[in-house]
Amino acid sequence: MVSGSMPTGPRPTGPRPAGSVGPSDTVSPSRLESAKALLKIEKGAKVADVMEVRGLIPEDMALFREIVYGCTRQKRLLDYYLDKLCQSPFAKLPVEVKISLRMGIYQLLFLTRVPAHAAVHEAVNLVKGAGQESLAGFSNAVLRNAEKQKADFKITGEDDMDTLAIKYSHPTWLVRRWATGLSADGLNTENLEPVLAANNKPHPVFLRSKPDLGEKVREDLLIQNVRVEPLAWPPYTLRLASHEGGLFSGDSFGQGDWFVQDWTPQAMLEMLPFANVFRAWDVCAAPGGKTAGLAWKLGEKGEVWATDFSPVRMVKLKENLRRLGLNKVRVYEEAIEKIPPSQKFDLIWVDAPCSGTGVLSRRADLRWKLKPEEIKKHAIEQLKLLEEVHGHLYPKGYLVYSTCSLEREENQDLIKTFMESHPGWDLAIPDSPPEVTNLLKDKWGVTFLPTGDRDGGFLSVLQKNRN
């Protein structure tokens, strides 16, 4: 593979801030803001924390989101190709140059609607604007070679799993884990590839409307130039089809007719047993989607409690409940161990903090931050949660456990451990409509595999059969 040459001239002192450009340089607002955001992510920021950008028109905002999420998801693959194109190690380049080259090659490989000359030209200008003018010619050569050779790019890893991990830009340890640890549930090297591909796709936005307000929400949003489509299942679920107008700017949102929630937690809610359920407790409630769903399910005669461990998230929870008009929900702000033993519930939902390996599309940077040892730490904390809350169930009450993880230690193995150490529980594996696919069911629960439309996760329901 032809490589660009690394310049040997002196580098300028006192480099300008990353993303700044000189008066003769041209960089579009979307690419300039993308470079700034990617630099923040490189320094440890979360993707979700860098997406609030003011002043971009809708077209620029769309490109900004595409580049930031795309470069973050595809980081390993982009770096693999760039390392092949560079004579000197790509990893040793200044971070601003690496970001500019990733942005350029991402557009060349994945954004066919972007002219190649524009992708290359603006990436080179980002290099200049970052105070790295001595590397501008090098960057130009690398990206022009990438454009010429992209049809012939090949990936060769240490073995098949490593090659697959590079191809879909995942850590190899995680791909190996999924290929072996989930095989008992039906996930193997053949259906592993669609899961990896799904993690690199932007998922649709889903709304949940108040019961029987779906048509009203559709009409109100259409006035705002926002189009949503109802799904056959789950009920009250709307899929965002287009949003030329502002989704959150109209009366429909302000008066609490709907909230944003991914398909998977909406499906989980519909799969729960609600016969003889009058009191429910959402243990890890923020930002409030599950709480609202429970409150709407139980209606005026039901009672819902909500708790969360994070004071910051608790503020968001209360804001959302106020907007939705759910004033009867009891938000308990003390530590959960202080809830009196006399407080009993028919259903307790523990949506436990977890590794998040089922939501790698939405949390684009997580795959690069997660460490294998963290999975076991999560499992320890998750088991503690079940230990703390299960005593608050009435006999025949339901203990619901869910995560946004695909890991057995946090899911099936944890349920098995809990039941072995706590006799007196039966499993009530939830049912789903036959048309819902990409679910793996076993004796411990249901695993939702990520698809191009939804996040992954796990759901289990235990029923208490004695005091």
pLDDT value of residue 213: 96
Cα angle at 97 between 69 and 85, to 5 degrees? 90
pLDDT digit string, tens, across residues 144-163: 999 999 999 999 999 999 99
Average pLDDT, the chain: 92
The CATH 3.40.50.150 portion of the chain extends over 263-464
Residue 64 contacts residue 125 (beta carbons within 8 Å)? no
pLDDT value of residue 182: 67
Over the range 95-104, which residues count as b (16 or more CB within 10 Å of their CB) and which as e?
ebbbbbbbbb
More confident residue, 183 or 135: 135
Q: What type of residue sits at position 248?
A: F
The mean per-residue pLDDT over the stretch 122-130 comes to 96
Cα gap 308→303, rounded to integer Å: 17
pLDDT digit string, tens, across residues 252-276: 999 999 999 999 999 999 999 999 9
Judge residue 266's burial from the number of C-beta atoms within 10 Å of its C-beta, 0-12 exposed, 13-18 middle, 19 or more buried: buried
3-state DSSP assignment of residue 279:
strand
Residue 448 contacts residue 264 (beta carbons within 8 Å)? yes
The CATH 1.10.940.10 portion of the chain extends over 29-152
- Residue 425: CB atoms within 10 A of its CB come to 17
Bridge partners of 351, per DSSP, are 402
Residue identified by tokens 């049912």 is 431
Architecture in CATH for domain 263-464:
3-Layer(aba) Sandwich (3.40)
The mean per-residue pLDDT over the stretch 426-434 comes to 91
pLDDT value of residue 189: 62
Residues 6+ apart with CB under 8 A from 333: 307, 314
CATH number for 29-152: choose from 3.90.650.10, 3.40.50.2300, 1.10.940.10, 2.40.50.140.
1.10.940.10
pLDDT value of residue 187: 56
Would you place residue 369 in the very low, low, confident or very high pLDDT band (cuts 50, 70, 90)?
Answer: very high
Give the strand pairing for 425-427 and 237-243. unpaired
> Is residue 181 pLDDT above 80, yes or no?
no
Would you place residue 467 in the very low, low, confident or very high pLDDT band (cuts 50, 70, 90)?
Answer: low
